[in-house]
Amino acid sequence: MLAVKTIDEVRRVVHPAKQGGKRVGLVPTMGALHEGHLSLVHAAKSECDVVVVSIFVNPIQFGPNEDFEKYPRPIEKDLELCRQAGVDVVFYPEVQEMYPRELLTTVRVSKMTQTLCGKSRPTHFEGVTTVVTKLFNVVGPDFAYFGQKDAQQALVLRRMTADLDVPVTIRICPTIREESGLAKSSRNQYLNDDQRVQATSLSRALKEAVSLIKSGKKETSELIGAMETIIKTAGPCRIDYISVNDLETLEEVSRVQKPVVIALAVNIGPARLIDNIMVDAEGNEIIMFGRNVV
C-alpha cells in the first residue's frame, strides 16, 4: 500500500493505472475509520482494479461552532486498517496541500442542500461538494463510494455529478450498524456508555416509522410524532430534525406516496448523530447501490 500526502504523488500512481485501462475507485473519508468505511472499501475492491482512500478532515465543511478541532484523527490506526483492507493508495493531505491559497472557487448545489442537515448547517454541503470535486479532479476515479448513512450528502453528490457531467459513477452503500441498531459513525466516539444506549433510539424510531407505513399510516405528521416519542423517551436530547423527504428532490413531503428518505438528526450529549432509512410508498426498504440515475 502506498500512503502519500501530495496531489502530485497520487497522480503519479493513478494516472498510469488509468492509462493502462485499470478501473479506479475512490473512497473519500475524514478518517477515524470504522466498519462503515471499510464496507465502502470492500465495495470498491469488488469492482475496481485500484482502490484509493482519501483521509482528509475538510475544514470548509465544518461550521464555526462545530467539531473540526476535536474531530478524531487516528492516522496510524487508519493507515493500518486500510492496509489490512487491501487499499492500494491512501491520500492523506495536510490542509495546506488542499487549500494552498485563498479558495475563491466553490461548487454549490441548490435546493437539495436547503433541507434536512442544510438548515442547521448552512455552509456544510458547499464544503462537501467543493472538496469532493477537488478529490475527483486529483484522483480521476471511475467509481466513488459513499455511505447511505450520510444520505443527503450522497444524494447531493450524485446530483452534482450528474449536473456537471463528472465522469464518475457514484455508489451509495448501505449503512453499517452495530448489533444494537446504532449506525456506525466516527462521532459515536463522543458518546459515553449511557449515551450509546440512548442513541439506539434513533434506529428504533426509524424502524417504527417503517412499520407504521407498512400498516398503512402514511401521514408524515403521524410518523414524526411516533418517532419523536421514541427518541424523547430514551433520554435527554435535542432533536435537530425528524423529517420525511422525497428521495429525489429531498423536499419535505406531507404524505408517503413516492420513495422517501426518513431522516433525523439528534444531539445526544456532545454528539450530533444522524440516521435515515429509504423506503417506497409501501414501506419496502430501498437499496441505493446501483441506482445511479438522477
Q: Which residues sit at the interface with a copy of itself, rule CB under 8 A? A: 7, 11, 19, 21, 101, 103-112, 129-130, 133-134, 137-138, 140, 159-160, 162-167, 294
**Least Å distance between CB 117 and a copy of itself?**
16
Residue (163 or 282) nearer to a copy of itself, CB: 163
103 vs 287 by CB, closer to a copy of itself: 103
All three cell numbers of 147, joined, read 455511505
268: part of which helix (H) or strand (E)?
A: strand 260-268
Question: How are strands ordered across the β-sheet holding 143-147?
Answer: 2-4, 89-91, 50-55, 24-29, 143-147, 169-173
Q: Residues 218, 223, 224, CA angle at the centre, nearest 5°?
A: 140
- Cβ at position 6, least distance to a copy of itself in Å: 12
From the list 153, 68, 162, 62, the residue with the least C-alpha distance to 112 is 153
Q: How far is the CB of 122 from a copy of itself (least distance, A)?
A: 16
Nearest Cα to Cα of residue 29 among 69, 82, 67, 108: 82
Coil/strand/helix, residue 271: strand
Cell of 26: 475512490
| 124 contact partners, CB below 8 Å, separation of at least 6 | 61, 62, 63, 117, 118
Q: Give 12's contacts (C-beta < 8 A, 6+ positions apart).
A: none
Establish whether 37 is a catalytic residue: yes
Exposed e or buried b per residue across 191-223, where buried means at least 16 C-beta atoms within 10 angstroms of its C-beta: beeebbebbbbbbbbbebbbebbeeeebebeeb
Q: Which is nearer to a copy of itself, 168 or 205 (CB)?
A: 168
Q: Which is nearer to a copy of itself, 129 or 276 (CB)?
A: 129
Strand partners, 219: 255
Q: Give the nearest distance from C-beta 294 to a copy of itself in angstroms.
A: 7
Please say whether the beta carbons of 227 and 242 come within 8 A.
Answer: yes
Instruction: CB nearer to a copy of itself: give 165 or 193.
Output: 165
Please tell me which residue in 15, 34, 37, 124 is annotated as part of the active site. Answer: 37
User: Would you say 137 or 211 has its CB closer to a copy of itself?
Assistant: 137
Minimum distance of a copy of itself from residue 7's CB (angstroms): 6
Minimum distance between the CB of residue 151 and a copy of itself, rounded to whole angstroms?
17
The C-alpha cell that represents 145 in the structure block: 463510494
Residue indicated by cell numbers 449536473 = 163
Which residues belong to the active site?
37
